[in-house]
Amino acid sequence: MSERITLEYYVLDVFSHTSYKGNPLSVVFTDGDLELEVYQNIAKEFGYSETSFVYYSQKQKALNVRSFTPIGFEIDGAGHNLLGAVCGALLKKMPIFDAQNENNRYVIMKHSPIPVTVRFDPDTNYPIVQMHQKSALVKQQIPTYKIAIALGFKIEDLEIDMLIPTVVQTEVAHTMVPVRNSKLLNECIPDNKLLIEISKEYHFEGFYCFAIADENEDHIVEARFFNPIIGIEEDPATGTAAGPLIGFLTKNRYAQSNKEYKILQGVKLNQPSVIEVMNRDRDVLVGGMSVITMRGELYI
């Protein structure tokens, strides 16, 4: 019998500085690429919304990241899967940026470079990572009645000034769904079958439901995210949706360019997460902190 390979892993809580809050992510450290089935089996075993696999490439002088859901779907885009992977590598003291220009740091995901900015919290020394997403592309609007039925709302629950459900994309296309207030937001009961049908019909992934916060709140919106088409019933923090949302809010004059805002997510799941976002002229910044909650070994 051949000897089994041992791989180290961390479980991090992403978009949080407190364990058991935020969005849990397993990060597995490898020496290179694995077989597709191995990635999928490990992601299924962990059971988190996503599992990231990382290694440092001497040739590319960059951290390589691949991420999978429990049903074996490989993730595109810069979300908590990428932010947590970078934080995990930095907390492990991997020299992922030593050979890069300080003003041009990046990681590789599915053969594409994704720019990142890193600073360290002065109190905890935890890394705070900002991912540079593409500028928000506003696509088609979705009939409000279809969204209302699928999420268990009345049509009037989704009527907020000029905001209506709209597909927006930075890395991944998601539908932004305005909800009248946080109470309604946290009462909604999605019908996953209907959500999947809408996603297929209009060619996007998830539904980012949000309620505009009061002016005295620290965050601009509270949000919930549903993405059953890739096996995620509800996500506590979603970077690939937070970027499109701040772009959408800026274009509709609910937010200003070049100003940092916070999005609160995961309250309904008792995993509150804070996502820092900023819409700029040429890109969208999405960032936050991560904390290691578990570490261990797995065998293949």
- pLDDT tens for 181-200 read 999 999 999 999 999 999 99
- pLDDT tens for 45-78 read 999 999 999 999 999 999 999 999 999 999 887 8
pLDDT of residue 2: 72
Domains of the chain: 6-116+289-299 (3.10.310.10), 137-281 (3.10.310.10)
pLDDT band at 140 (very low <50, low <70, confident <90, very high): very high
Which of 151, 225, 163, 159 minimizes the C-alpha distance to 192?
151
Cβ atoms of residues 276 and 265 within 8 Å: no
Mean pLDDT of the chain: 95
Is the pLDDT at 110 greater than 90? The verdict is no
Question: Looking up tokens 């599915």, which residue turns up?
Answer: 110
Q: Report how far apart, in Å, the C-alpha atoms of 85 and of each of 19, 71, 107, 131, 203 are.
A: 16, 20, 10, 12, 28
pLDDT of residue 160: 86
Cβ atoms of residues 248 and 261 within 8 Å: no
Is the pLDDT at 1 greater than 70? The verdict is no
Q: How far is the C-alpha of 205 from the C-alpha of 75, rounded, in Å?
A: 11
The three-state secondary structure class of 86 is helix
The three-state secondary structure class of 126 is coil
Q: Per-residue pLDDT averaged across 234-248, rounded? A: 97
Q: Which residues contact 32 (CB under 8 A, 6 or more apart)?
A: 55
Is the pLDDT at 22 greater than 90? The verdict is yes
Q: How far is the C-alpha of 44 from the C-alpha of 209, rounded, in Å?
A: 27
Share of the chain above pLDDT 90, in %: 93
Q: How far is the C-alpha of 289 from the C-alpha of 277, rounded, in Å?
A: 13
- pLDDT tens for 201-226 read 999 999 999 999 999 999 999 999 99
Q: Report how far apart, in Å, the C-alpha atoms of 220 and of each of 136, 145, 152, 210, 255 are.
A: 18, 26, 24, 10, 8
Cβ of 300: how many Cβ atoms within 10 Å?
13
Cβ atoms of residues 71 and 59 within 8 Å: no
pLDDT of residue 3: 86
Q: How far is the C-alpha of 127 from the C-alpha of 121, rounded, in Å?
A: 6
